[in-house]
Structure 1
Amino acid sequence: MYLYAMGSYVPEKTIDNSYFSDITGLSEDWFLSRTGIQTRRKASIEENTHTLAIKAIENLMHNNQIVQKQEIDLIVGATYTPYDTIHTLAHHAQKYLNIYDIPVVSISTACSSFINAIEIVEGYFATNKAENALVVASDHNTAYSDETDKTSGHLWGDGASAVVIRKERPENLPYFKILDIITGGGGGLGKATDSVFLRPINEGFMMNNGKDVFIHACEYMAGFSKKILAKNNKTITDVAWFIPHQANLRITQNVAENLGLSMEKVVSNIQYLGNTGCAGCAIALTENASRYKHKDLIVMSVFGGGYSYGSMLLEYINE
């Protein structure tokens, strides 16, 4: 598989730590020291999960004129903050593109949904049911969060990213060769059931045990990164870039230390975007496109509530 076109979008409105300090009475340094977040983006009242996604698709099409929408024969949407659970994210993308009679699938594995979405594409390709897939990840976290919640209200940002994946090698450069994907679920791990959840009757996100999330996120993002490298006969010294789920800068630093990676090789946007959910690592991949060099090996590793986790190994090709 080959990832050969990308686009992302984040809302214009920026929320800094002083906003949450005024609401909660906690200091700005309290938020910064515990999360690494300085600012986050918040969708306007006119925006939602669907509109964020369409903006990302528009940017993808604008930046990648080689993409022909009529070639897309599969759409997979990834979100855990749906605007509509019936006319889903994937359906809305299909309507926007005006492409019909193709499979459209929307999934939710919390913050690991982007990699799971690409794994679904892999299955369609393997069974010869598709050749060109659009994957769009979009999360409108602020629609579901309680800003007065001192535990997690300050974590969330909104954003979306879209990528096109081909079964066969693209003729145009650059592109990413997807070398491997591995995923897993840990529904019975630790306090997975209640550590972080989103239930309509509870009026939004609840994070009852952030410590359990922290511990397992660090363990599984590092562990699955090592696992995918070993499976492909690679070592950490071969890695040019590491893109983790953008959950918390302290988690990122812990995982990098566990892997023996310099933070100079870590791609991070949580400092200025906040936790943008399953879109975060995809946005990071897109934002940093100018930094990649031919043959760079990239590890993307994610962890989501529930729990879900996984890693993807990419090679950047530009010659």
Structure 2
Amino acid sequence: MRLNAKITALGGYVPPGIRTNAWLSDISDTSDEWILKRTGIRERRILANDLGTSDMVVEAVQNLLMKAEITVEEIACLIVATSTPDMPMPSTANIVCRKLGIKQTFGFDINAACSGFLYALSLGASLVESCRYKNVIVVGADKMSSVLNKYDRTTNILFGDGAAAVLLQSSTEKAGVMDSILEGNGEGMEFLNIEGGGSRYPASMETLLSKKHFIKQEGRVVFRNAIAKMVKVCRNLLEQNQLSIKDISWFVPHQANLRIIEAVGKELGIENEKILTNVQYYGNTTAATIPLCLWDYEATIKKGDLLLLTTFGAGFTWGATLIKWDI
């Protein structure tokens, strides 16, 4: 009998610090009206300077464990999707294991930018479906404020910090992670990136002065590609599963920009009432956006609902996933 991987618990965390549009208006050439018109974002959560991505992951996992029927010792695998690890090595997942007191767990990071959570979810589901691991926790987490030039209005209005986690366990029922299409091509790497800090541009006075350690984005190119890629992959996934958009209970897109979300929804022909959003209050938390949205709307989503998740990120990377809810 084929086993499916289903989500049995969620946890999330957003830091208490809030960066408002008014605050950004004081330090850069922008305004609340300008930001709302172009992004729909009202505020973002910002983590304290002396904390890292791992601290948010710990909070999200602990929040999950409060509702799950497992203990820390029963976590068999921890996958952290992030573009802002605490450090190049060891992995953030490894650091989280130490902070949680986990002694022997298979844990690793994955970096697919904003698509990271769906990539990690597919990997985690495969581990559960193969029967090799029983309790797999998948986390999307990013401290985007750590790579953000707060004076650059092309990026400072968009990004925030946060983390959210899901627990994957096996099920013989037709529920859980049903199917995914995940893609990427690298053709957009110059339009959305953080050049500095890797092996190509290791940290130096030159990379610091040229601001290579900050995220940079060509907004128009990213905007156009995000809509086209997410619409196409969603249509392909629905067709692959002999479904129509009318079969979808809830649409959960990557929370990058409200205009992008609305454009994708319109192209797919899904009602606005079925589109879940929280970008207004968190901004773009990169790998955390989709799981944070699921966490925020946990009371709204009902058992048996069919969810369509989609994402687009740097590289470019993109994808879509179908989930039949079973909590």
TM-score normalised by the chain length of structure 2: 0.90
User: How far did 1:20 drift?
Assistant: 1.1
Q: Secondary structure at the match of 2:299?
A: helix
1:206 to 206, 216, 225: 216
Indicate whether 1:96 and 2:99 are aligned. yes
Contact 1:5 1:67 (C-alpha < 8 Å) held by counterparts = no
Q: Secondary structure at the match of 1:134?
A: strand
| Counterpart position of 1:196 | 192
1:267 to 272, 276, 279: 276
Q: Secondary structure at the match of 1:136?
A: strand
Q: Secondary structure at the match of 2:133?
A: coil
Q: Secondary structure at the match of 1:267?
A: coil
1:61 & 1:128 partners in 2: Cα distance?
A: 22
* Cα deviation code 1:74-103 (max 9, x no counterpart): 111110011112121111222233333332
- Which amino acid in 1 is paired with 2:274? K
Aligned pairs (5 A) from 1:20-169: 20-64=24-68, 66-169=69-172
TM-score normalised by the chain length of structure 1: 0.92
2:71 & 2:179 partners in 1: Cα distance?
A: 26
The more displaced of 302-311 and 87-96 is 87-96
User: How far did 1:131 drift?
Assistant: 2.3
Q: Secondary structure at the match of 1:194?
A: coil
Aligned pairs (5 A) from 1:290-305: 290-305=299-314
2:44 & 2:17 partners in 1: Cα distance?
A: 8
2:248 & 2:146 partners in 1: Cα distance?
A: 36
| Counterpart position of 2:267 | 258
| Counterpart position of 2:8 | 4
1:114 & 1:160 partners in 2: Cα distance?
A: 11
2:57 & 2:94 partners in 1: Cα distance?
A: 11
1:195 & 1:176 partners in 2: Cα distance?
A: 38
User: How far did 1:177 drift?
Assistant: 1.2
Distance 1:139 1:169, change over 3 A: farther
User: How far did 1:36 drift?
Assistant: 0.5
Contact 1:147 1:153 (C-alpha < 8 Å) held by counterparts = yes
* Cα deviation code 1:36-72 (max 9, x no counterpart): 10111111123211101111111111233x1233332
Pairs aligned (count)? 309
Contact 2:147 2:214 (C-alpha < 8 Å) held by counterparts = yes
Q: Secondary structure at the match of 1:164?
A: strand
The more displaced of 21-30 and 284-293 is 21-30
| Counterpart position of 1:180 | 179
2:131 & 2:325 partners in 1: Cα distance?
A: 25
2:108 & 2:213 partners in 1: Cα distance?
A: 26
RMSD: 1.7
Structure 1: runs of 5+ lacking an equivalent: none
Contact 1:159 1:276 (C-alpha < 8 Å) held by counterparts = yes
Contact 2:125 2:177 (C-alpha < 8 Å) held by counterparts = no
User: How far did 1:301 drift?
Assistant: 0.4
- Which amino acid in 1 is paired with 2:63? N
- Which amino acid in 1 is paired with 2:255? Q
Q: Secondary structure at the match of 2:12?
A: strand
1:224 & 1:16 partners in 2: Cα distance?
A: 34
- Which amino acid in 2 is paired with 1:28? D
Distance 1:196 1:288, change over 3 A: same
Contact 1:78 1:89 (C-alpha < 8 Å) held by counterparts = no
Contact 1:4 1:176 (C-alpha < 8 Å) held by counterparts = no
1:156 & 1:89 partners in 2: Cα distance?
A: 20
User: How far did 1:281 drift?
Assistant: 0.8
- Which amino acid in 2 is paired with 1:242? F
Indicate whether 1:281 and 2:277 are aligned. no
1:155 & 1:312 partners in 2: Cα distance?
A: 24
Contact 1:256 1:266 (C-alpha < 8 Å) held by counterparts = yes
User: How far did 1:314 drift?
Assistant: 0.8
User: How far did 1:169 drift?
Assistant: 4.9
Structure 2: runs of 5+ lacking an equivalent: 197-206
* Cα deviation code 1:105-162 (max 9, x no counterpart): 2110000000111122234345543222111111000011001102111111100011
Contact 1:131 1:168 (C-alpha < 8 Å) held by counterparts = no
